[in-house]
């Protein structure tokens, strides 16, 4: 068992808060231990999976290898997209990443490249990076510049190559946050912008859903669980400071947690359809969620804009 917190250096005590979690979303067999630091609040999986274990987990991450790179309505009507995301709570970098003229952008962990494609079509100098071979191949075949990631902790680009970097739901998957932040600092120019979005361990919904907070826990894929203070403390050690932060709860995340609560025996929630997915209930949930959350600043998805010193 690890006995030192990677964020603040405090020693874990014998009575540290522990969580034993199962995979409720992809159906992987097993259970995983998480430990919460009593000093700073960082929650860490212990022991952390090896790269080989992570490879085996991610083999079950998707049921197919289809990448849809066709344009969507949100690209044709950006103002309507922003209004919709205000209601849905979706965290979309196209809504808040300011790309100034001449800036070079990195979409790290670009996935199916929806954001990258939109920026690219707007004439922005952007490149993606992803660990999935089929994603990289599909993007390259469609004319997008995407680099294959072969090492979870190494960014395959040269020093000071980018003005802006964003990571949407990526950082919590990384085994070595310190090494990766060092890499981010290396490839980002001085005074460059870094946007990181992660599940927020200080969220009001984590406190209410507890073990059913599967949008955030997502064992064994999420290795660390951050709040604003822990993420800021880690980043400061690598030359970053916080410029601003905010949090939203995507209605899709909220529905996933409701499903975990309602269907306690279901361990493949990512592929489970229910009445919650009907358009009428989905719209109602969006409105109710936005009203309920008004008094709370700590919601499910934390977004921090860092600046490199």
> pLDDT at position 98, please?
95
Convert the pLDDT of each residue in 178-219 to its tens digit: 999 999 999 999 999 999 999 999 999 999 999 999 999 999
**Residue range 38-94, pLDDT digits in tens:** 999 999 999 999 888 988 898 888 777 777 777 776 678 889 999 999 999 999 999
Q: How far apart are CA 258 and CA 266, in angstroms?
A: 12
The predicted pLDDT at position 254 comes to 97
Write down the pLDDT at residue 67. 74
> Which pairing describes strands 104-108 and 162-168: parallel, antiparallel, or unpaired?
parallel
The pLDDT value recorded for residue 279 is: 93
pLDDT on residue 84: 94
pLDDT of residue 55: 85
What domains can be seen in the chain, in order of their start residue?
70-308 (3.40.50.150)
Give tens-digit pLDDT for 85-138.
999 999 999 999 999 999 999 999 998 888 999 999 899 999 999 988 888 998
Q: What is the model's pLDDT at position 153? A: 79
Place of tokens 């000071």: 160
Closest to 59 measured CA to CA, from 220, 269, 216? 220
The pLDDT, as a whole number, for residue 1 is: 61
| Mean pLDDT on 22-51 | 95
Per-residue pLDDT, averaged over 208-231, amounts to 97
Q: Residues of the chain with pLDDT > 70: what percent?
A: 98
Read off the pLDDT of residues 234-261 as tens digits, 9 standing for 90 and up: 999 999 999 999 999 999 999 999 999 9
Q: What is the percent of the chain where pLDDT is above 90? A: 82
The DSSP code for 183 is H
Rg (CA), the chain: 19
Range with the poorest average pLDDT among 193-197, 281-285, 299-303: 281-285
Alpha-carbon span 144 to 128, nearest angstrom: 8
CA distance 32 to 17: 14
> What does the block give as tokens for 33?
């231990």
Across the range 126-152, mean pLDDT stands at 90
Residue 223 above 80 pLDDT?
yes
**Angle at which helices 177-187 and 228-236 cross, to 10°:** 60
Does the structure show a pLDDT above 90 at 269?
yes
């Amino acid at each position: 068992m690890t006995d030192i917190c990677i964020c603040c250096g405090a020693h874990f005590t014998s009575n540290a808060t522990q969580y034993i979690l199962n995979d409720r979303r992809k159906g992987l067999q097993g259970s995983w231990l998480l430990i919460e630091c009593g000093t700073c609040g960082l929650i860490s999986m212990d022991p952390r999976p090896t790269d080989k274990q992570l490879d085996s987990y991610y083999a079950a991450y998707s049921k197919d290898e289809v990448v849809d790179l066709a344009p969507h309505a949100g690209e044709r009507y950006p103002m309507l997209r922003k209004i919709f995301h205000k209601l849905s709570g979706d965290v979309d970098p196209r809504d808040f990443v300011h790309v100034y003229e001449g800036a070079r952008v990195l979409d790290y962990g670009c996935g199916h490249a929806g954001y990258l494609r939109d920026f690219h079509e707007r004439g922005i100098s952007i490149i993606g990076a992803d660990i999935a071979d089929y994603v990289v191949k599909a993007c390259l075949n469609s004319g997008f510049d995407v680099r294959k990631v072969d090492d979870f902790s190494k960014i395959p680009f040269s020093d000071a190559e980018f003005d802006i970097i964003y990571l949407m739901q990526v950082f919590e998957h990384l085994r070595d946050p310190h090494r990766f932040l060092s890499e981010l600092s290396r490839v980002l120019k001085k005074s460059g912008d870094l946007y990181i979005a992660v599940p927020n361990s200080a969220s009001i919904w984590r406190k209410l859903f507890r073990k059913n907070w599967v949008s955030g826990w997502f064992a064994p894929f999420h290795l660390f669980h951050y709040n604003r203070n822990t993420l800021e403390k880690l980043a400061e050690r690598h030359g970053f400071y916080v410029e601003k932060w905010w949090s939203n709860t995507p209605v899709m995340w909220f529905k996933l947690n409701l499903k975990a609560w309602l269907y306690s025996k279901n361990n493949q929630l990512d592929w489970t359809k229910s009445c919650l997915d009907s358009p009428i209930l989905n719209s109602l949930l969006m409105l109710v969620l936005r009203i309920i959350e008004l008094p709370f600043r700590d919601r499910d998805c934390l977004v921090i804009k860092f600046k490199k010193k």
